[in-house]
Structure 1
Amino acid sequence: MTSRRDFLASAALLSAGLLVSPSLLAAPSKRYIGLQLYTVRAAMEKDPAGTLAQLAKIGYNSVEGATYTGSQKFYGMAPKEFAALLKKNGMIMPSSHYRLGEEQTNGAPTKGTMLHEWDRAVDDAAAAGVKYMVCAYLSEAERGGLDHYKYVADQLNKAGERCQKASIQLCYHNHDFEFMGQDGQLPYDLLLATDKKLVKMELDLYWVTKAGKDPLTLFQQHPGRFPLWHVKDMDKTEKKFFTEVGNGSIDFKKIFAQAKLAGMEYFFVEQDSTPGSPFDSVTQSMAYIKKNLV
């Protein structure tokens, strides 16, 4: 199975998407229920058109992209071509994932990242109808100490300024390492110190919970800063592994009750690994979400 790190390094990325119901947040009346395409990455590599059609049959009508690599392609398609395929299936792609770009690919700069050919990435995102460009992951080589996180924060501000010119919002997606203290500080706090108009957050509810932090506390401390969420459940074993939404230990009902405080607009279901077919898992997650969250 392709590991997340291998996928991120080679495909320059990694997380499904739902627009909050009007009862939770003022928003368009249409309810978007979507999927982070990393969950079905193998199927998207082999047959993106067939995969999107299958997801549409399950009920998903929104996706978050995970594979823009500087080839100016989305799953092998030009931006407008991919947007047309989404439209054909009754879908939108409001968000897509990108990389910082310090880590090289096969000894060369990774294009389509914040540090390499970002202008082209932003233009392609706009052409595909993307509203949010998300810095999705920092490799171990891209993390470093607090001074390096300050450098990352500066790059996020610069990338966010370029996004703003295209009417796109930049976000940062967390894992758990941003919440590991260094000299009495959390790297995540340094990332939150970015310009809140230029850089917002995609909060991964699984990783922040696994790090021992409370999403509700973050919402209270930084209201309106979290327009995107990753809805990913944690199983009840000692391993605390990924599981289908509603099948684990995270209290999504409690978190969704604070959607307005968080400023949440879209949330994305993602399951990095599944016990069987990912389509079975996303079907199960869909059923729970429809019954309990929207």
Structure 2
Amino acid sequence: MSTRRSFIKTSAILSTGLLTTPNLFAYDKKYIGLQLYTVRDAMQANPVATLAKVAQIGYNSVEGATYTGTQNFYGMDAKTFAKQLKQNGLIMPSGHYRLGEEKTNGADTKGTILHNWDKAIDDAAEVGLKYMVCAYLSDPERGNLDKYKRIADDFNKAAERCKKAGIQFAYHNHDFEFIQQDGKYPYEILLNNTDKDLVKMEMDIYWVVKAKQDPIALIEQHPGRFPLWHVKDMARSIDQTFAEVGGGIINFKKIFDHADKSGLKYFFVEQDKTPGNPYDSITQSLDYIKRNLD
């Protein structure tokens, strides 16, 4: 039985030191990605101009933050959105999706795992996605461990359909999955009750640390299960809010040393809240990555 003791605390990964080792990545990847949730207001106001600005700053990969059957990709159909990405030299290997138990204005939310998933897969393939990621479970969608087992079944079924289109399914964590129930974490239930090949995990490093868990311990326990990462730093302040990469306490050097064992393919800078202009924050994060983690 897995217990709390099976998860190592985070003290080993926190550091105040500078990360200066060159050629850090053990894998050969040229992409530095941005999760578009970081610039969500700009994407809502003018997605075309925002994609151009993100590319101008120096990102060459993005991860979509939202998709529904009505909204599509920031108001664009798959073909139009794919064209915008290409014009800006961007790829979008991954996108975020919802489970779909929650209704929208009393109706089923289309383009979710539970409703019109096949259409979402078709659109994802048109854009060139390699990963479709369940981004979040809302409060009503969570529950006891049995509920998480049912969700794991939903993930397995959704992943089977993704596989037929050549797309990998994954799940993105927050911190609520590490609130213990009956001696177990819901995250353990999702890991252990999904097919390890069909369902991968997108590790949000900030939220793992916020939950007082160790990303490296998770990688060691589940090698090859984490092909996607959210690279998000934690501020040194008491409230442990979000910080620009390199401006906080997370030792990314040590974590990236385990990239191969993780199975890492793509990572995305994300900062849920920024102290000022989000473009300034993502520029700072990019500069740090290029100086210290590239």
Q: TM-score, normalised by structure 2?
A: 0.90
Deviation at 1:107, TM superposition (A): 1.3
Instruction: Determine if the alignment matches structure 1 residue 242 to structure 2 residue 235.
Output: no
The equivalences for 1:122-201 within 5 A come to 122-193=121-192, 194-201=194-201
The match for 1:18 is: none
Contact 1:37–1:65 (CA under 8 A) maintained in structure 2: yes
What residue identity is the alignment partner of 2:88?
A: N
Determine if contact 1:225/1:262 at 8 Å carries over to the other structure: yes
Task: Give how far 1:67 is off.
Answer: 2.0
1:110-158 Cα deviation digits (max 9, x unpaired): 1100000001000110011000000000000001110100000000000
Superposition deviation, residue 24 in structure 1: 2.7
Alignment match, 1:282 = 282
Which digits, 9 at most, give the CA deviation of each residue in 1:204-252, with x for residues without a partner?
0000001010000011100000000000000011100001000001000
Structure with the larger RCO, 1 or 2 (CA within 8 Å, 6+ apart): 2
| Kept after mapping to 2: 8 A contact 1:25/1:265 | no
Mapped partners of 1:68, 1:163: distance in 2: 16
Asked whether the equivalents of residues 85 and 91 of structure 2 are also in contact (C-alpha less than 8 Å), the reply is: yes
RMSD (CA atoms)? 1.3
2:231 aligns to what?
231
Secondary structure of 1:167's aligned partner? coil
The 3-state SS of whatever aligns with 2:34 is: strand
SS at match of 1:161: helix
- SS of aligned partner of 1:188: helix
Distance change >3 Å, CA 168–CA 72, structure 1 → 2:
farther
Unaligned stretches of 5+ residues in structure 2: 1-21
1:113 and 1:25 mapped to 2: Cα distance? Answer: 35
Counterpart of 2:292 in structure 1 is 292
Tell me the equivalent position of 2:25: 24
Taking the TM superposition and a 5 Å limit, the aligned residue runs for 1:205-284 are 205-284=205-284
Contact 2:67 2:111 in 1 (8 A): yes
Counterpart CA distance in 2 for 1:149 and 1:22 is 40
Letter aligned with residue 79 of structure 2: K
Asked if 2 retains the 8 angstrom alpha-carbon contact of 1:223 and 1:262, the reply is yes
Aligned to 2:89: 90
* 1:178-210 Cα shifts (integer Å, max 9, x gaps): 011001011001100110111000000000001
Matched residue type, 1:276: G
CA distance 1:93–1:101, shift in 2 (3 Å): same
- C-alpha contact (below 8 Å) 1:169/1:199 kept by paired residues: yes
Unmatched segments (≥5 aa) in structure 1: 1-20
Post-superposition, which runs of at least 4 consecutive aligned residues in structure 1 deviate over 3 A?
25-28
What's the offset of the Cα at 1:106?
A: 1.4
Give the match's secondary structure for 1:76.
coil
Q: TM-score, normalised by structure 1?
A: 0.90
Q: Residue 182 of structure 1 aligns to a residue in which SS?
A: coil
